[in-house]
Structure 1
Amino acid sequence: MKSLLFVRSSFSYFWYFGLLGLIIPFLPLYLDGKNFSSEEIGEMLAIIAATKIIGPTLWAALADKTGQQLGIIRLGAFLACALFTFLFWLNDYWPIVFCLAAFSLFWNAILPQIEVMTLNSIRKSPKIYARIRLWGSIGFIFFAVITGELIEKFSSEVFTYVGFVILFGLFISTLLVKQSRIKKSQITKTSSITDKLFNVNFAVFFIAGLLLQLSLGTYYSFFGLYLRDLEYPTIAVGLLISLGVVAEITIFIYAGKIFKYFSIKSILIFSLIITSFRWFLMGHYGDIMIVMILSQLIHAASFGLYHSASIQFLQQHFDPSQQNRGQAIYIGGVYGVGGGIGAYYAGTLWLEGSGATNAFDMAVLAAFVGAIFTLFIKTNHKNI
């Protein structure tokens, strides 16, 4: 892979996941600063997650028909940035909900296209993909730490300023990327995507992923508020989340070697089981710093390892011309439905912090049941 192509792809991942480094730990704090209740925050985050069901699927269908992934990425980045700026002037529940939902509708549509373009450019090499993807993790860490310090010094309103800078950087990065060409022979001989979607292996894989995202709902929605209630300093939010991403980066670096020795199925099962244990530790012993550090290190499996294995599964399961739709359907259903349900129920169970343990126990159960579902994936492919 040429160095310039590597840099351009890595730059896009840096900004895209840098925004996640802002949203995951600090959006709940920002909304809490607007005096919304935990139930309202859960509803808002569930609505945002639900946009992943619609946006990526519609845009992916257009990308598969036109082959213009790059144009869609650029348009999505521009509209996401433009819509996000309205947060500078909004304070009420419904206006903020509509603003965040509209922004998220376009922002979430970008990722499947970036993933497919990157994988096409690198010939689906797990080793090179992992190296590019880790720049997303670096962006996540950078903005999580910087934003934590800025909020500590100023206020939660810093969220909107940092968000605008990141989204503008993302848009600029899309102008530097070039779309690789796919040979005609790669995109004409394909089977029906319906057959692939109703395949038993995909159904089991899909449900397991949905349950994992449901379990992550409590963490993504209330981790910052949880640490605040446990009297951790604000900067600890960014640092602890960044620790999890450091572990994630380590996994991405060695993902290529891991896939040589373990099957996709075994990696998925391991990730789900240890994630279930992670939520137990966090929910029952969150006031112990060493336990929180351990639970964050497990993020290497909860996201990094599971994500890498999922990408490999999707690449093997869908034909080249189905990749955009396959990625979008998976992201929409798993991240949208699973994340939305997880955020909503976490909000109903949280009860301004008094129900934190119950919310994490729900996450424990969801991840464990996901592991049970994964046991039923048939190993009919040499790498699965």
Structure 2
Amino acid sequence: MNQSGPAINVRVSALFACHFFGIGLFLPFFPVVLELRGLNAQQIGLVLGTGIFLQICANPLLTNISDRTGHRRYSILAYALLAAVFMALFSAAAGFLFLAAAAIAYMVFKAPVLPLSDAYALDVSRNTGADYARMRLWGSAGFVAANLIGGNLATETGSWLMLVLIAVSCMATGAVVLSLPRQRRRKKGHEEPADTGGNTPFRTIWFWPVLVLLGLFQATHSAFYGFGTLYWQANGVADMAIGWLWAIGVIAEIALFTIAGKLANRFDPSLFLIAAGIAAIIRWGLFPLADTFLSMAALQILHGLTFGAAHLGAVAILAKVVPSRWAGTGQGLLSTSIGIQMSIGLSVSGWLYAADVNAPFYAMSMISVVGTLAMIALTPMVRQRMAETAAEGNA
């Protein structure tokens, strides 16, 4: 590890914390803000689903531009500041079309910040030996802090302050990224294999079904992200308690990230994803049956697996098969895969929720069954591809 390693670790951790503080307000409570602005369930699903669909179109382009120019830090800065501008416009907008346009634009420009931050953090991990999961857990900590604050702001009188804090988090993300040094993309002990198009997995057939599957595990959260807070509110759960429920889930995620480095030495990324799928089957299948705070909290603990294990498994697979030169593009494609499926999931969940508030969660449990079985079937091939890539790198 070079001498600047610890200082870089702290700043990368701060980058994740600032970014996820805004996400921790937006993700659970923005549907409430939309409802307070007069949107119904179908309109909320349409706005969120359309925003994610447009992220699908923009994310690969925006992350690939960053990789081609080699300016990840400046790309993160530009996208974060644009997101802040559109959140400010949303705060001042009136009427469904203007509200929708500002919200969707915020979602589009905020989206590439995370895959580019992940790519930067993976470079830091390679160059300094830092533990990616331990840096990433500070993003989860920022998310928890925002959950607890947002639980008090998800009201008619407090929602404006929530929007201000979301915009401030974007500006803080830009400020932190300016303090980060440029990372050299290298491997210790040997040169990285040439990473021109022929040696990347993007042009291979096997990569794309695997990418779809990696995105599916995160997309099973679509019903919860879109309607979890509204579901709890409709069942009489207090706003402060809802904030704690979101926080419990992310605390479980932090706990996993804390020990993930040790687990990764014993279990390969595919097993992380299989564990995530099994947990999702249980979590979403029992979600409508939980009628006490304790039972709801118990299911939220599974978020450490349904999100945390799925994220670490997906990132690890991509890090092993995609050259670091194109890590931003690889992470952007993962975000696109998640986005396509999340967009579909949110839109469908909106219609299912309008018909039966329990139906979206049962649907996510069934989808998790499909994803888990598919991951089990593809695990031998994924392991083979990771081994082949490692062998090429050591050749």
Distance 1:103 1:28, change over 3 A: same
Question: What residue identity is the alignment partner of 1:45?
Answer: L
State the alpha-carbon separation in 1 of the partners of residues 191 and 169 from structure 2. Answer: 35
- The one of 132, 146, 151 equivalent to 1:148 is 151
1:130 paired residue number: 133
Question: What residue identity is the alignment partner of 2:118?
Answer: E
Contact 1:247/1:297 (8 A) holds in 2: yes
1:306 paired residue number: 310
Task: Report deviation, 1:382.
Answer: 4.8
2:372 paired residue number: 371
1:235 paired residue number: 240
State the alpha-carbon separation in 1 of the partners of residues 275 and 204 from structure 2. Answer: 23
Where do 1:83-232 residues align within 5 Å? 83-123=86-126, 128-151=131-154, 154-183=157-186, 189-190=194-195, 192=197, 196-197=201-202, 199=204, 201-232=206-237
1:348 and 2:351 are equivalent in the alignment? yes
Alignment TM-score, normalising by the size of structure 1 = 0.93
2:57 paired residue number: 54
| Offset from partner CA, 1:74-112 (integer Å, 9 cap, x none) | 111111111210122113211111111112221111112
Distance 1:303 1:127, change over 3 A: farther
Question: What residue identity is the alignment partner of 2:325?
Answer: S
2:393 paired residue number: none
Distance 1:203 1:375, change over 3 A: farther
- The one of 287, 295, 300 equivalent to 2:299 is 295
Count of residues paired in the alignment:
380
Distance 1:126 1:27, change over 3 A: farther
Task: Report deviation, 1:54.
Answer: 2.3
Question: What residue identity is the alignment partner of 1:290?
Answer: L
Task: Report deviation, 1:18.
Answer: 1.0
Gaps of 5+ in 2: 391-395
1:332 paired residue number: 336
Question: What residue identity is the alignment partner of 1:256?
Answer: G
Kindly report the root-mean-square deviation, in angstroms, between the aligned alpha carbons of the 2 structures.
2.3
Task: Report deviation, 1:3.
Answer: 2.3
Gaps of 5+ in 1: none
Instruction: Classify the secondary structure of the residue corresponding to 1:375.
Output: helix
1:28 and 2:58 are equivalent in the alignment? no
State the alpha-carbon separation in 2 of the partners of residues 187 and 68 from structure 1. Answer: 20
Distance 1:153 1:236, change over 3 A: farther
Task: Report deviation, 1:8.
Answer: 1.1
Contact 2:127/2:184 (8 A) holds in 1: no
Alignment TM-score, normalising by the size of structure 2 = 0.90
State the alpha-carbon separation in 2 of the partners of residues 257 and 235 from structure 1. Answer: 35
Q: Which shifted more, 151-160 or 335-344?
A: 151-160
State the alpha-carbon separation in 2 of the partners of residues 227 and 360 from structure 1. Answer: 13
- Identity over the aligned pairs, expressed in percent? 24
Q: Which shifted more, 371-380 or 11-20?
A: 371-380
Contact 2:48/2:104 (8 A) holds in 1: no
Distance 1:4 1:129, change over 3 A: same
The ranges of structure 1 where at least 4 consecutive aligned residues each deviate by more than 6 angstroms after the TM superposition are 124-127
1:40 and 2:60 are equivalent in the alignment? no
Task: Report deviation, 1:69.
Answer: 0.9
